[in-house]
């Protein structure tokens, strides 16, 4: 019964690995199970890989595994796909969630089937996420992917690990790859997401960095306070009671006896002629004597020397998703989302090229049959201020409320799109200018009454055929309303 359950659904797999005994063994097992192998080999073939649901990495060594994992996790298209790592033995230097499941030899087809079944919850969560908007910059897409990765793997907390190769001494290698940044710099990007309210943080450590090169590799050393040389020696001091002269012990030694360098008298008895009150620092370079050495910092990367108080302190945080981050991950929304992007999540919006062609046909139909239609161009002039005041979550909430208001007054035959200038375009079929004006006024009145924050609307209405005689005339009239 268990075997039948494991074989219920077929999964598409892409195998990456260098040819060898381990690779051949995995290929043989994959040929025995119910699944589709979309590609295999040491190189990632994107045309085949993008059709695979699950990736398997076969690696003999840790460095080989890291190369394959980096190639997959750094891919903007493939970075979220579930991943199984297969190695001869446990690799201590690589851990979850760099991979989703790890298998070691000996490997049976039953173990592999169980592993594939165990990845289905991740697959199901990933399938619920809508595609990202074309208007997003690459970093915006990567940031959403990072949030989706954390959410789909149900990571309750993300804790950076110590990393001597990172400039800040800590890193999250898998996050660095997802974000497409150098080692350790993903933490800086995640702190920026925390500032935006997408991640919640808890302080893990504080690291001192060089103020010039921003690297943690700093040597804290004691130096001469006069010349800054590290060539110092701590020696005992002698105080001559008679003349009150105090100096390093070495300056009193003469032919195995203590002779005061100031008055020339021989010192015989400690506690009677002299005392040893403490120690001082003597510099071998400049010869100066000081009560204490001075602490100086030397950057081992760039060689910059600076006092400790000038060190740049960086807080290393552990992270977890905020409620806003979960919404952003599920809906694919980012602070860089345009008005069209946000409304696309809630409304059935027509792409502008299609809308424009449909509009041309509607103009011809209206002129032929003398059946009017109206085109409303609606702009929200204070949208950027809304986000600055209420944040991304507030903007999303307000626009969703606007969508509900629009849905109240629009018919199923009416079309909605966006102009290249990010304005809402509403095509009201068989509606003259009077009806269009009525709809807009109701929309404005309802918005002012319902919305928590007022939108600053600007609108313009053109009616065909009463105002525009052809498509070019319609475009001209719309432009005049700007």
Q: pLDDT digit string (tens) for 405-464?
A: 887 888 877 888 878 777 888 989 888 989 999 999 988 888 888 776 678 888 989 888
Asked if residues 175 and 146 have their Cβ atoms less than 8 Å apart, the reply is yes
CB 105 within 8 A of CB 22: yes
- Distance of CA 250 to CAs 3, 60, 243, 255, 264, Å? 86, 63, 18, 11, 15
136 secondary structure, DSSP code: S
Residue 92 exposed, middle or buried by CB count within 10 Å (0-12, 13-18, 19+): exposed
What are the tokens at 155?
Answer: 């990571």
Sketch out the chain's domains with CATH numbers: 2-127 (3.40.50.2300), 225-292 (no CATH), 338-480 (3.30.70.270)
Mark residue 3 as left, alpha or beta (left: phi above 0; alpha: psi -120 to 50; beta: remaining): alpha
pLDDT of residue 436: 92
| pLDDT < 70: residue spans in the chain | 1-10, 34-36, 38, 133-135, 334-349, 351, 392-393, 452-453, 477-482
List b or e across 186-205, with b for residues whose CB sees 16 or more CB atoms inside 10 angstroms.
Answer: bbebbbebbebbbbbbeeee
Strand partners for 237: 248
Nearest to 311 by CA among 183, 219, 224, 223: 219
Residue carrying the six token digits 């409303």? 376
Sheet holding 457-464, edge to edge: 415-418, 424-429, 373-380, 457-464
- Using a 10 angstrom Cβ sphere, with 0-12 exposed, 13-18 middle and 19 or more buried, the burial of residue 291 is exposed
Residue 388 has a pLDDT of 75
Amino acid 359: pLDDT = 85
**pLDDT on residue 36:** 67
Q: What is the C-alpha separation between 295 and 297, in angstroms, rounded?
A: 7
Q: Give residue-wise pLDDT tens across range 192-239.
A: 998 878 899 999 999 999 999 999 999 999 999 999 999 998 888 888
Q: What is the pLDDT of residue 294?
A: 93
pLDDT at residue 298, rounded to an integer: 97
The predicted structure's pLDDT at residue 6: 39
What is d(CA 165, CA 183) in angstroms, rounded to the nearest whole number? 7
pLDDT reported for residue 337: 54
d(CA 302, CA 215): 9
pLDDT given at position 416? 84
């Amino acid at each position: 019964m268990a075997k039948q359950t494991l074989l219920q659904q077929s999964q598409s797999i892409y195998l990456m690995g260098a040819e060898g005994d381990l690779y051949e063994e995995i290929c043989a097992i994959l040929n025995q199970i119910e699944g589709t192998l979309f590609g295999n080999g040491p190189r990632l073939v994107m045309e085949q890989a993008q059709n695979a649901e699950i990736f398997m990495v076969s690696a003999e060594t840790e460095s080989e595994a890291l190369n394959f994992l980096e190639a997959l996790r750094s891919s903007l298209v493939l970075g979220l796909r579930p991943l199984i790592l297969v190695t001869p033995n446990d690799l201590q230097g690589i851990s979850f969630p760099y991979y989703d499941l790890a298998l070691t030899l000996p490997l049976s087809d039953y173990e592999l089937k169980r592993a594939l079944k165990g990845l289905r919850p991740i697959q199901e969560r990933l399938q619920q996420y809508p595609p990202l908007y074309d208007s997003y910059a690459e970093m915006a897409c990567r940031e959403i992917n990072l949030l989706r990765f954390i959410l789909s793997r149900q990571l309750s907390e993300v804790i950076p690990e110590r990393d001597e190769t990172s400039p800040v001494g800590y890193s999250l290698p898998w996050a660095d790859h997802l974000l497409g940044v150098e080692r350790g710099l993903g933490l800086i990007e995640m702190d920026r997401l925390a500032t935006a309210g997408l991640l919640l943080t808890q302080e893990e450590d504080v690291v001192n960095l060089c103020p010039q090169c921003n690297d943690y590799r700093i040597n804290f050393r004691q130096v001469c306070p006069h010349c800054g040389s590290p060539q110092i020696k701590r020696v005992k001091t002698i105080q001559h009671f008679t003349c009150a002269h105090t100096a390093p012990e070495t300056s009193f030694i003469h032919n195995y006896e203590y002779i005061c360098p100031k008055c020339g008298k021989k010192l015989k008895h400690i506690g009677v002629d002299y005392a040893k009150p403490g120690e001082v620092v003597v510099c071998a370079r400049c010869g100066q004597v000081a009560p204490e050495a001075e602490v100086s910092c030397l950057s081992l990367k760039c060689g910059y020397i600076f006092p400790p108080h000038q060190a740049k302190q960086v807080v290393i945080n552990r992270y977890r998703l905020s409620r806003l981050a979960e919404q952003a991950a599920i809906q694919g929304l980012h602070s860089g989302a345009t008005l069209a992007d946000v409304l696309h999540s809630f409304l059935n919006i027509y792409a502008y090229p299609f809308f424009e062609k449909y509009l041309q046909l509607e103009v011809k139909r209206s002129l032929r049959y003398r059946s009017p239609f109206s085109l409303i161009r609606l702009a929200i002039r204070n949208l950027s201020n809304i986000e600055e005041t209420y944040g991304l979550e507030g903007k999303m909430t307000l626009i969703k409320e606007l969508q509900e208001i629009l849905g109240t007054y629009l018919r199923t035959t009416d079309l909605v799109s966006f102009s290249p200038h990010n304005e809402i375009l509403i095509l009201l079929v068989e509606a003259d200018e009077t009806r269009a004006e009525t709809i807009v006024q109701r929309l404005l009145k309802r918005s002012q009454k319902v919305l928590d924050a007022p939108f600053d609307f600007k609108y313009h209405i053109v009616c065909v055929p009463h105002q525009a005689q052809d498509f070019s005339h319609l475009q001209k009239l719309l432009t005049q309303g700007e």
